Structure 1
Amino acid sequence: MRLSRPARIALRTAAAVGFAVIYLPLLVVVLNSFNRDRGSGWPPPGLTLRWWTAAWRNTGAREALWTSVAAGTAATAVALALGTLIAFAVQRHAFFGREALSFAVVLPLALPGIVTGIALNSAFRTVLEPLGVGLGLFTVVIGHATFCVVVVFNNVVARLRRTPGSLEEAAMDLGAHTFRVFADITFPLVRSALVAGGLLAFALSFDEIVVTTFTAGPGVRTLPLWIFDNMARPRQAPVVNVVAAVLVLLSVLPIYLAERLSSDTASGSRI
């Protein structure tokens, strides 16, 4: 379809405005992390690395960073295991309730985060607390895994749909056992989808705040929770800007890598 010149200009203008609304606030946060003015005055009267040094020396920020990394890593591991198994079950086998299972797996990503958080908080207090397990890092990992599983599941299912089962059948006909077929045929074909799903899952977990608020408990603070708690403290504003900039950068990298991996050819031969 060939668009007229006014239509092309209008579309480009709308796209530029949309990108500006999304990315200019992020750019302002990054610039404010170097702002010499403690009150984040604009335009910046000068640039400094002072606040980056202060942020690194901030014990609370460092602990929150490692908590986020630990929670994201654990949630990603759980999501990779469960999401991959469910994807293979749904895509490679026919059984009663297959569509219902697929819908149940995807549903947590569509639900509002506050609904998921309230439901998980109630479930943990009802089931785990009588067993002596309170809210903490363990419950945060479970909470994050509920929506991280969806990302891995979608990536693996999409790859399996583009991968003919005849390749595995041919390997079995030649005498290869199940584990050999998986190691030599199946895994190389879905490897990039697993990596992409894992990166996206980690990024989602790393910057999640709504579900974390209801599942973390008083003793656990992830990096987004630390930022939220310190936003109202004027003297902490420069350090908060630095931590927010780090959060943006750490979230962009895995998403970029996942996008590159997800753009593989249909054969899935590249990683």
Structure 2
Amino acid sequence: MRISLGTRVTLGVVTTVILAVVYVPLLVVLVNSFSTSSSLTWPPPGFTLEWWGRAFRSDGALEAVGTSALVALISSALALVLGTMLSFALQRFSFFGRNTVNLLVILPIALPGIITGIALNNLFRTILGVPLSIWTVIIAHTTFCIVTVFNNAVARLRRMGTSLEEASADLGAGVWTTFRLVTFPQLRSALLTGGLLAFALSFDEIVVTTFTAGSGVRTLPMFIIDNVARPNQAPIVSVIAVVLVVVSIVPIALAQKLSGSEQQRR
């Protein structure tokens, strides 16, 4: 399809403006993390690495990073198992209510986080009588991390078809042998992509975490919110925000690269 020069220029300008609105504030945060000012004045009066050193020596920040990483890893692992099982059940089998179950699986990612947080808070504290802890946060994160794994696995299963699995069964291979040697190698990159996206989604989640975390649990996003308005803490928060952006970008970039490599091989 050919488009006119005016249309190309218009699309280029609109794209540039949108990208600037999204990424210029991130650039400002990056610059502020090196500012000599403790109140984040603009433009920065000077540049220093002092705040980076303080951030990496902060026990509270390091503990928050560890908590976020632990929650994200366990949530992603649970999501990989449950999301894969759900994708097989809903893609390879027909049963009454399948479409309804499919909707219910995807719904947590579409609901506003505050609704999910309130619902899970009521579930844990009122219905089950379970005290809020790091495990309630993990369970809460798993509910929406499942969706990323499920969507990737279902999409791959639809493209794969069943011909190779049927051929494996005709040649005498059992169910687990077929899964290990035929199904899983084709599904592996989709699961890895879903797991990376789930990790990124869990690592920087704040709304659901706020409603499901106990008093002794503080993830990295919660640490940022607690300290952003405190005196002399804003530059340290900027450092942590930069680290959080990098940590979020890496798994997303890897997932995108894996998806692109898979499409090129196909």
TM-score greater than 0.5 by the shorter chain: yes
Offset of residue 234 of structure 1:
2.4
Give me the whole-angstrom Cα distance separating, in 1, the residues matched to 2:101 and 2:58.
45
Contact 2:189 2:262 in 1 (8 A): no
Offset of residue 208 of structure 1:
0.2
Offset of residue 266 of structure 1:
5.1
Give me the whole-angstrom Cα distance separating, in 2, the residues matched to 1:255 and 1:33.
23
Give me the whole-angstrom Cα distance separating, in 2, the residues matched to 1:73 and 1:128.
25
Give me the whole-angstrom Cα distance separating, in 2, the residues matched to 1:266 and 1:243.
35
Contact 1:199 1:254 in 2 (8 A): yes
Contact 1:159 1:268 in 2 (8 A): no
Give me the whole-angstrom Cα distance separating, in 1, the residues matched to 2:109 and 2:74.
18
Residue among 172, 175, 179 paired with 1:178: 175
Contact 2:133 2:213 in 1 (8 A): yes
1:21 equivalent to 2:21? Answer: yes
- Paired letter, 1:108: P
Q: 3-state DSSP class of the match of 1:205?
A: helix
Give me the whole-angstrom Cα distance separating, in 1, the residues matched to 2:133 and 2:212.
7
1:139 equivalent to 2:136? Answer: yes
Give me the whole-angstrom Cα distance separating, in 2, the residues matched to 1:134 and 1:262.
40
Identity %: 57
Q: 3-state DSSP class of the match of 1:234?
A: coil
Offset of residue 201 of structure 1:
0.2
Give me the whole-angstrom Cα distance separating, in 2, the residues matched to 1:141 and 1:92.
29
Offset of residue 268 of structure 1:
6.9
Residues 268 and 125 of structure 1, relative CA distance in 2, 3 Å threshold = farther
Contact 2:108 2:144 in 1 (8 A): yes
Q: What residue ranges of structure 2 are gaps of 5+ in the alignment?
A: none
Give me the whole-angstrom Cα distance separating, in 2, the residues matched to 1:113 and 1:267.
36
Contact 1:159 1:193 in 2 (8 A): yes
Give me the whole-angstrom Cα distance separating, in 2, the residues matched to 1:173 and 1:75.
37
Contact 2:125 2:131 in 1 (8 A): yes
- Note the alpha carbon deviations across 1:53-103, whole angstroms, 9 max, x for none: 100111111110000000001110110011000001111111111111111
Give TM-score scaled by structure 1 length: 0.95
Deviating more after overlay: 231-240 vs 12-21: 231-240
Q: Which runs of 4+ in 1 moved over 6 A?
A: none
Tell me the equivalent position of 2:153: 156
Q: How many residues align?
A: 266
Give me the whole-angstrom Cα distance separating, in 2, the residues matched to 1:268 and 1:215.
42
Give TM-score scaled by structure 2 length: 0.97
Give me the whole-angstrom Cα distance separating, in 1, the residues matched to 2:152 and 2:258.
10
Tell me the equivalent position of 2:258: 261
RMSD in angstroms over aligned alpha carbons? 1.3
1:166 equivalent to 2:169? Answer: no
Give me the whole-angstrom Cα distance separating, in 1, the residues matched to 2:197 and 2:72.
10
Q: What residue ranges of structure 1 are gaps of 5+ in the alignment?
A: none
- Note the alpha carbon deviations across 1:137-177, whole angstroms, 9 max, x for none: 00000110111000000000001011020100001111111
Q: 3-state DSSP class of the match of 2:45?
A: coil
Tell me the equivalent position of 1:75: 75
